[in-house]
Amino acid sequence: MRPIILLPVLALILLGGCAQPELPRDHFYRLMVPTPEGASSAPELPGVIEVQRLAADGLVSERPLVFSFRDDTQALRQYNYNLWNEAPPAIVQDQLSRYLQAAGIARRVVTPELRQRPDYQVVGKIRRFEQVVGAPHGVAVELELGVVRLRDDGLVFRRSYFAERKTVDDAPATAARAINEALAEVFAGFVRDIRELKVR
């Protein structure tokens, strides 16, 4: 009888040895760029300004967080389980429209989904939107942004904006928070240029 009693125990041991390890859980991050302090008393852009979805190439257009190594920033990689809640072109568009509205740049700031007739459009491209792994730890954000006047299709201006932030470690969550800060610096530079140009 003893061998019969041992068989179920041996079967449980074998099954336990074949069990798959638990897969890592997905982590999702959102962009929440701090709004600027002190809106313009009079809008710099008369009428309605529409923020278009920004263009982006390759990995930068996808939801996984992108990173490069400090000693090889030309090679980009993606995390498997660390993702933005939406693709960067969509969330940057949303945050930029909120930022411009809070800054009082125009009478009204909209996105194409609202189907308003705009007087100006904000267009652009995400050039860099990444964590930089390795000492010194950090992130890098580069956007190309411009303003188009729709009544004559005139390009008012178009410039590149770059910002870096150092971080205390290489954790993806730390990088996501730092990208928010770097993006706020880029947005502030864009608003400053609009105000200095006195667009009409």
What is the tens place of the pLDDT at every residue in 140-170?
999 999 999 999 989 999 999 999 999 999 9
Q: What is the mean pLDDT of residues 20-40?
A: 83
pLDDT for 199: 56
Q: What is the three-class DSSP state of 9?
A: helix
CATH number for 27-197: choose from 3.40.462.40, 3.40.50.10610, 3.30.360.10, 3.30.365.10. 3.40.50.10610
Query: pLDDT higher for 194 or 17?
Result: 194
DSSP line for 131-200:
EEESSSPEEEEEEEEEEEETTTTEEEEEEEEEEEEE-SS--HHHHHHHHHHHHHHHHHHHHHHHHHHT--
Domain residue spans in the chain? 27-197
**For the chain, what is the mean pLDDT?**
88
Q: Residue 8 — pLDDT band, cuts 50, 70, 90?
A: low
Q: Residue 46 — pLDDT band, cuts 50, 70, 90?
A: confident
pLDDT for 177: 96
pLDDT for 1: 47
Q: Residue 197 — pLDDT band, cuts 50, 70, 90?
A: confident
